[in-house]
Amino acid sequence: MGREENYRNPYGSIPSPAAKEIPTSFWYTQAGMSVPWVGFDGITDNATWRTPIFDLRPDLRSSQSMARSGVPVWDTAARLYIQVFGLTGADTNTEFLRLGYTELANTTFGEITQAGPPPAVAPPGGGFPIQTARNPVVQVMSIVDITSELMMGTNQPDSVILVFEPLGEGYPVRYWQVALTWVNIGVAGPALNLQAAMY
């Protein structure tokens, strides 16, 4: 892979030369994934769905002496599109449905760091304990209620498309992930489906 034109760096320079002949960025899920409802207890039904971790600056390669990780997205103008289906189904009651989203990110690392067992005593000053396995991609914003994006009143379509722009206003943070949180109050969650793509 190091000899391919888009990763070529014959002199081992840091930073690496600009990448060339970059492929078109496109990631997608299978069609018609069910919203993964769990834990219905007669009061609430919950579901969480996450994208993979995207590497929005794959041109930086391994410049931090770390293995490349994440789904590479070469186009800094790429957007995440999530399409929700089943909003007007015969058995669908969305009156008590709530949908929130949050973003997870990291400026530097996107892979899971594995190490030995954690020490018996937490490090002074808090933070991550020494030698603890962790995922550096962490939540960087509060959960935002976007239920209104699903509900369109008397002209309700069966499907809507949610569009997400990565953090950075056109200059995206390197590692980025979106999580949807579904809550349905009082009854079991409706049979909704979703699919997503990043391009």
Q: What percent of the chain has pLDDT above 90?
A: 43
What's the length of the chain? 199
78-118 pLDDT, tens digit each: 999 999 999 987 667 788 899 999 999 988 876 655 555 55
Alpha-carbon distances, residue 93 vs 43, 68, 89, 160, 194 (angstroms): 15, 44, 8, 16, 17
Two structure tokens written together for 1: 């892979």
Owner of token pair 């498309």: 161
Tell me the pTM.
Answer: 0.79
Question: Residue 1 above 50 pLDDT?
Answer: no
pLDDT at site 69: 76
19-77 pLDDT, tens digit each: 667 777 899 998 889 999 987 676 788 999 999 999 998 888 766 556 667 899 999 89
Torsion angle defined by CA atoms of residues 66, 67, 70 and 74, in that order, rounded to the nearest 10 degrees: 80
Alpha-carbon distances, residue 43 vs 58, 91, 115, 185 (angstroms): 44, 19, 40, 6
